[in-house]
């Protein structure tokens, strides 16, 4: 990915743990690496095809001057979030925020915080087998559309499938969607649970009836195994009701453990 650098932008702002820092203010020095694709701008020679680093510099200045936070970590996190949400063509950003006058009572050059943040690609599964199933699925899509830091890019058709897990219940309506997100996997999972609860989802019986089921299938090429979250989703490679809608929107999305695309995984199921 190409980079545009903004180095050592000096800003006077009022961030700090001590009350006097919030009143008197002090100097901060900010450097930003803007990750983008400069190919189109390089060929067209049009500024609108790239990122205007002058406008970005003023954006940084206005944000840092217009807010007061105690921690450098918070300044960096909130600034990166706002930049990724609002700056066209920006795919990722690396920020370093230096505090040259840090009140530590010792001689030092500067203290700083550096972070890297980016847009992530995630694939989600949707399912419902209670009430107005299509209404619940569309509510799930809308819930993600209304979530700051999430952009719904593609939604599959909804398909009717037999229930999974051996529990007698109504057929499911299933789908899949692709999103871009600034949320971490854990933050995304919590948001999905909130959307499920808004649809009156109750987690009583495993694989039992539910108004709305939202699962993270893939998140970039991440492999994650914790008590609360497994990415790729466990057994997604064995479930045709997951793979069929996924293949409609992303047939070549690759399972990072199996090393096979969604369409290859579906072909394997159908041949057995």
Task: Give dist(CA 237, CA 139) in Å, integer.
Answer: 26
What are the residues facing 31 on neighbouring strands?
A: 96
Query: Can you read off the two tokens belonging to residue 221?
Result: 């090429």
Cβ within 8 Å of residue 118, ≥6 positions away: 35, 84, 91, 92, 93
Pairing of strands 26-36, 2-13: antiparallel
What amino acid positions are annotated as catalytic residues? 99
Question: Cα separations (Å) of 48 from 45, 52, 59, 142?
Answer: 9, 8, 17, 31
Task: Give dist(CA 239, CA 120) in Å, integer.
Answer: 24
Up-side HSE of residue 112: CA atoms within 13 Å toward CB? 16
CB 255 within 8 A of CB 218: yes
3-state secondary structure of 172: strand
Question: Cα separations (Å) of 54 from 31, 47, 61, 258?
Answer: 13, 11, 11, 45
HEC profile of 200-227? CCCCCCCCCCCCCEEEEEEECCCCEECC
Query: Can you read off the two tokens belonging to residue 82?
Result: 């706002």
Task: Give dist(CA 84, CA 183) in Å, integer.
Answer: 12
């Amino acid at each position: 990915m190409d980079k545009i650098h903004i180095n050592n932008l000096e800003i006077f702002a009022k961030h700090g743990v001590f009350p006097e820092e919030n009143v008197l203010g002090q100097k901060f020095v900010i450097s930003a690496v803007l990750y983008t694709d400069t190919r189109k701008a390089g060929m067209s020679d049009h500024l609108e095809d790239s990122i205007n680093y002058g406008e970005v510099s003023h954006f940084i200045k206005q944000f840092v001057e217009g807010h007061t936070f105690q921690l450098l970590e918070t300044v960096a996190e909130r600034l990166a979030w706002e930049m990724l949400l609002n700056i066209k063509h920006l795919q990722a950003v690396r920020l370093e925020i230096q505090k040259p006058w840090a009140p530590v009572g010792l001689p030092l050059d500067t203290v700083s915080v550096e972070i890297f943040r980016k847009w992530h690609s995630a694939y989600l599964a949707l399912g419902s087998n209670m009430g107005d199933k299509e209404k619940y699925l569309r509510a799930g899509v809308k819930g993600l559309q209304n979530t700051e830091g999430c952009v719904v890019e593609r939604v599959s058709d909804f398909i009717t499938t037999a229930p999974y897990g051996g529990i007698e219940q109504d057929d499911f309506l299933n789908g899949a969607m692709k999103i871009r997100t600034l949320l971490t996997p854990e933050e995304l999972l919590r948001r999905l649970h909130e959307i499920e609860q808004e649809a009156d989802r109750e987690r009583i019986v495993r694989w039992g009836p539910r108004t709305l089921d939202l699962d993270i299938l893939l998140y970039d090429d991440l492999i994650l195994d914790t008590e609360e979250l497994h990415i790729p989703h466990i057994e997604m490679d064995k479930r045709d009701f997951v793979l069929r809608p996924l293949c409609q929107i992303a047939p070549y999305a690759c399972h990072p453990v199996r090393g096979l695309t969604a369409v290859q995984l579906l072909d394997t199921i159908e041949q057995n």
